[in-house]
Amino acid sequence: MTTAIRRADRRISPVFLALVAVLAVSGWAVWKGTLATHTGVAVFFFVTSGWVVSLCLHEYAHARTALHSGDISVADRGYLTLNPLKYTHALLSIILPLIFLIVNGIGLPGGAVYIEHARIRGRWRHSLISAAGPLTNAAFAVICTAPFWLNGLSGVPAAFRFALAFLALLQVTATILNFLPVPGLDGYGVIEPWLSPALRRQIEPYALFGLLAVFGLLWVPEVNQAFFGLVDTVLRALGVSRLDTYLGQELFRFWQGQQ
């Protein structure tokens, strides 16, 4: 009985499989140009489903690392099924990231799954659990940009190229933002185990406001310019130009009349 429950807790959710199916079908539509008069619609579904899939993998990475570090409760909560509906903070993990994607074209870090830290021994394990999520976004960015840095763009349709570039931009922004050492973000979770208990208690009340503070600062022109300058530098190192990401975002925002 216990074995059956554990298998069920680890079985991939139909919700996640549906998201992967949307990603595959919309990617095929972008590649083939089957919606030639509505390319932006196909790009929208391709990028959006790809982004949500990456969010699921981000949270799964946290949970899987926690499981191997001693917190078996993540299986009971359904975190290992890749079902976005199982996350503790569905609003922070899925809904808000989608809103920021659609409105601002930026990869908002999702809220972490609930981890029972008392079950985990060792500061390195705590740090690794926090780092696992953004490292997944970084890996996703490398995969999305593989055709660029491998010089494999020959024969790749322009719309698909631009869509990949924009999806990669979202992954890079999510990685950088997540690794900021700000309370409430994964970057702080990486360094938190190494801080004194007294300092952690002083910082804890501000965890809820960390993410809001970061996005408030991004409205400051100088901070925004510096941040996206760093994003562009990373993408250029991966072979993606600013024009690629710009055209990808223009296609994504099909409601603005771009195709």
Residue in 36, 208, 41 with CA at minimum distance from that of residue 111: 208
128 touches 141 (CB < 8 A): no
Give the chain's radius of gyration (CA, Å): 19
Residue in 163, 145, 167, 148 with CA at minimum distance from that of residue 40: 163
Task: Output the CA–CA distances (angstroms, integers) from residue 92 to 45, 85, 96, 110, 208, in the order listed.
Answer: 21, 12, 5, 5, 11
Is residue 121 classed as helix, strand or coil in its secondary structure? coil
Q: What is the C-alpha separation between 254 and 14, in angstroms, rounded?
A: 29
Q: What is the C-alpha separation between 7 and 9, in angstroms, rounded?
A: 5
Q: What is the C-alpha separation between 50 and 94, in angstroms, rounded?
A: 12
Task: Output the CA–CA distances (angstroms, integers) from residue 17 to 29, 48, 85, 254, in the order listed.
Answer: 18, 15, 13, 26
Q: What is the C-alpha separation between 100 and 109, in angstroms, rounded?
A: 10
Told to judge if 59 belongs to the known catalytic residues of this protein, a careful annotator would answer: yes
Q: What is the C-alpha separation between 23 and 181, in angstroms, rounded?
A: 32
Among residues 59, 192, 222, 250, the one annotated as catalytic is 59
Q: What is the C-alpha separation between 91 and 110, in angstroms, rounded?
A: 9
- Active-site positions read 59
